[in-house]
Structure 1
Amino acid sequence: MTTGIAVRATTLADGRELLYFDDADTTLGPERAVDARTLDARPATATMRQDVLTGDWVSIAAARQHRVNLPPAELDPLAPQTPANPSEVPSRYDVAVFENRSPSFGPALAGDGARGDAPLADDAPRGLDDLAEFGFGRRRTSVGRCEVVCFSPDHAGSFGTQTTSRARTVIEAWAHRTEALSALPGIQQVFPFENRGEAIGVTLHHPHGQIYAYPYITPRTQRLLERIEASGLGAAFFDRLLEHELSDERVVLRGAHFTAYVPYAARWPLEVHLLPHRHVPDVAALDDAERDELAPLYLRVLRGLDALYDTPTPYIAAWHQAPVHAARDRVRLSLQLTSPRRGADRLKYLAGSEAAMGAWIGDVPPEQQAASIREAIERVGEIR
Structure 2
Amino acid sequence: MTREDGRPELRRDPLIGGWTIVAPGRSRRPGGGTGARTVKGPCPFCPGNERLTPPEVWAEGEKGRRRDGPGWEIRVFPNLYPALAEAPSAVGKVGRRTLPANGYHEVIVHSPHHDLALARMDPEPAFRLMRAYRLRYRELCRRPGVRQVLIILNHGREAGASLEHPHTQVFALPLVPGAVREELRRLRRAGSRGCPLCAAVEEARREGRTVLENGSFAALAPFSARQPYETWFVPLRHREDFSRAGEKELRGLADILRRTLRGLNELLDDPPYNLWLHSAPCGEEHPYYHWHLELIPRLAVTAGFEMASGMFINPVPPEEAARRLAEAVG
TM range (shorter): 0.7 to 0.9
Give per-residue Cα distances to partners, 1:48-99, cap 9 Å, x unaligned: 1221112122211100111134325x511111234xx842263221111111
Letter paired with 2:30: V
Residue 238 of structure 1, CA deviation = 3.0
Q: Which residue of 1 aligns with 2:82?
A: 103
- RMSD, matched Cα: 2.0
Given that residues 234 and 330 in structure 1 are in contact (C-alpha distance below 8 angstroms), is that contact kept between their aligned partners in structure 2?
Answer: no
CA distance in 2, matches of 1:290, 1:325: 21
The alignment partner of 1:319 has SS state of: strand
Residues 1:81 and 2:48 aligned together: yes
Q: Please list, as runs of the form range in 1=range in 2, the aligned pairs for 1:214-225 lying within 5 A after superposition.
A: 214-225=173-184
Q: CA deviation at 1:324?
A: 1.2
2:186 aligns with: 227
Letter of the 1:322 counterpart = A
TM-score norm. by structure 2 comes to 0.87
Q: Which moved more, 1:89-98 or 1:249-258?
A: 89-98
Query: Match for residue 335 of structure 1?
Result: 293
- Is this contact kept in 1: 2:195–2:289, CA < 8 A? no
Asked whether the equivalents of residues 7 and 24 of structure 2 are also in contact (C-alpha less than 8 Å), the reply is no
Residue in structure 2 matching 1:51, options 13, 16, 29: 13
Q: Partners in 2 of 1:140 and 1:234 — Cα distance?
A: 37
- CA distance in 2 between partners of 1:226 and 1:324 (Å): 16
Q: Secondary structure at the match of 1:270?
A: coil
Are residues 235 and 175 of structure 1, via their aligned partners in 2, closer, same or farther at CA, if it must alter by over 3 Å? farther
Aligned AA for 2:174? Answer: P
CA distance in 1, matches of 2:117, 2:192: 38
Asked whether 1:368 is paired with 2:312, we answer no
Q: Deviations over 1:136-174 (max 9, x none)?
A: xx2221011111010011222322122211111110101
C-alpha deviation, 1:248, in angstroms: 2.3
Q: 1:61 aligns with which of 16, 19, 23?
A: 23
Question: Counterpart in 1 of 2:92?
Answer: 125
Letter in 1 for 2:149: V
Could you tell me how far apart the structure 2 residues matched to 1:269 and 1:359 are? 14
What CA distance in whole angstroms lies between the structure 2 residues aligned with 1:375 and 1:242? 19
Separation in 2, partners of 1:282, 1:229: 15
Paired amino acid for 2:224: A
Q: How many residues align?
A: 306
Q: Give matches, 1:84-233, under 5 Å.
A: 86-88=51-53, 90-92=68-70, 93-108=72-87, 120=89, 125-126=92-93, 130=94, 135=96, 138-233=97-192
Question: Which residue among 222, 228, 253 is the counterpart of 1:294?
Answer: 253
Gaps (5+ residues) in structure 2? 32-37, 57-67
Deviation by residue 1:108-159 (Cα, 9 ceiling, x = unmatched): 27xxxxxxxxxx56xx523xxx45xxx3xx2221011111010011222322
| One-letter code aligned to 1:190 | V
* Partner-residue secondary structure (3-state), 1:75: coil
Given that 1:250 and 1:366 are in contact with CA atoms closer than 8 Å, whether structure 2 keeps it comes out as yes
Q: Does structure 1 retain, via aligned residues, the 8 Å contact 2:77–2:107?
A: yes
Q: Secondary structure at the match of 2:201?
A: helix
Kept after mapping to 1: 8 A contact 2:12/2:18: yes
Question: What stretches of structure 1 of length at least 5 have no aligned partner?
Answer: 1-42, 110-119, 342-347, 379-384
Q: Which moved more, 1:181-190 or 1:224-233?
A: 224-233
Shift of 1:245: 2.4
Q: Distance in 2 between matches of 1:49 and 1:202?
A: 24
Deviations 1:335-370 (A, max 9, x none): 1100122xxxxxx11112212210211110111101
- Matched to 1:154, the amino acid is H
Show the counterpart of 2:311.
359
